[in-house]
Structure 1
Amino acid sequence: MRKTTTLALLATAVVALGCGSGATDATSSKGDSNAAKGEDKAAKAAKIGQPARDGKFEFTVKSSKCGVAKVGSSMLGEKAQGQFCLITVNVKNIGKEPQTLSDTEQKAYTADGTEYSTDTGAGIYANQEQSTFFNEINPGNQVTGVLVFDIPKTVKLAKLELHDSMFSGGVTVALS
């Protein structure tokens, strides 16, 4: 009786492992499918001046300027560790309820895929006239502000990934 129970448990374990193996294969092929979607997403990337939607926000990158050494005034400001890239973005709430815009959810990438985050402190100085980021935007309203990335002097940004929230998939905007 004991051998039968042991064999039954062993058989159940083998079947379970086999099912897990099938799940891994399904995940892999789903991953391949997602990779293909990622290629489609990259192929459909918006360009400067073109609107791009993610969730409740419609982003339009107006301009990109790199090589900036300092933002702010002569009295108050912040110096770049390398160079600042200033990305002017218009953000419109296309949803039906207020949505908070956060600069920390926005990413910039080089051609080789190196990721850079925003410099929120420098962003405060670059957006002196108003607090654009971490700002609640009501439906139909829009704001324009500057995303600031502090990157090495020898680096060139290729694209942005803009998000309506930390949970969204994001939308790609090519910078060149």
Structure 2
Amino acid sequence: MNHSDDRHQPIPPFAPQGPGAYTSGGAPAPLPPPAPARRSWFARHKILTGILAVVVLGAGAAAAGGGGDEPTPAATPAADAPAAAPEETAEDEAPEAAPADLPKIGDAVRDGKFEFTVTAVETGVAAVGNDLFGEEAQGQFVLVHMTVANIGDEAQMLSGSNQTLVDDQGRQHSANSSAAIYLDDADTFLNDINPGNSVEGVVVFDVPADAVPAAIELHDSVFSGGVTVSLEQ
């Protein structure tokens, strides 16, 4: 046996075994990617999982509510409850005085420091004054004659402009102080009356021709409450 030939034979390198161990270029083949992790049943069935969760929650809520099947009866108003009393109005508490209840011509009434007594009413007067100095009515003049006494302890000024005439339609008319100037006996234009004294004067109103005087509101000043006297005759 010739051993010298065996010692000189080259030893082949170690080669990986199996198919695909080498690429065509002689480099080692890459390892295959790891297999994806298998998801759970719930992750793969999200819709079914949501439905099951709703069913479970609904069953729990029904159990917590006591499971009563009878509906709660609706509240009904008490049949025997008393009806509310109608609310009182200022008109019910203090009804306005009817003309029949008012003081009349010839009655003495008081407001503030003055005591008034209406003595007469003239209607249908077309003009006041004379041919040289006077004034014609737009409709008709109504002349209210009165006596005014100062019942206070100091002087008080009487002014016809503080008085108001009310006709039968409820319309309020102011006095015509300029027309009263043409009356010699008016004495109601800014007339100071001392305590204890009295004057006889006239207040003039210019009203529509068809107006019928119903009442007069008398005031000792522009700020007073006033008192009403019926002018019905």
Q: Same fold (TM over 0.5)?
A: yes
Which has a greater percent of strand?
Answer: 1
Residue 80 (structure 1) aligns with = 137
State percent identity of aligned pairs.
48
Residue 175 (structure 1) aligns with = 231
Unaligned runs of 5+ in 1: 1-27
What CA deviation, in whole Å up to 9, does each residue of 1:101-148 have, x standing for no partner? Answer: 11111000012320000001101112x246432111111100111100
CA separation of 1:154 and 1:67: change in aligned 2, threshold 3 A? same
Q: So what's the TM-score if we normalise by structure 1?
A: 0.76
- Matched position secondary structure for 1:125: coil
The 5-angstrom pairing of residues 1-176 of structure 1 reads 32=90, 36-37=93-94, 39-40=96-97, 44-126=101-183, 128-129=184-185, 131-176=187-232
Unaligned runs of 5+ in 2: 1-86
CA contact (8 A) 1:159 1:172 kept: yes
Which has a greater percent of helix?
Answer: 1
CA contact (8 A) 2:149 2:199 kept: yes
* Deviation >3 Å, runs of 4+: 35-38, 40-44, 129-132
- 1:157 Cα shift? 1.0
CA contact (8 A) 1:41 1:172 kept: no
CA contact (8 A) 2:138 2:207 kept: yes
Distance in 1, matches of 2:152 and 2:105, equals: 23
Greater relative contact order (CA < 8 Å, ≥ 6 in sequence): 1
- 1:40 Cα shift? 4.4
Structure with higher Rg: it is 2
Q: CA RMSD in A?
A: 2.1
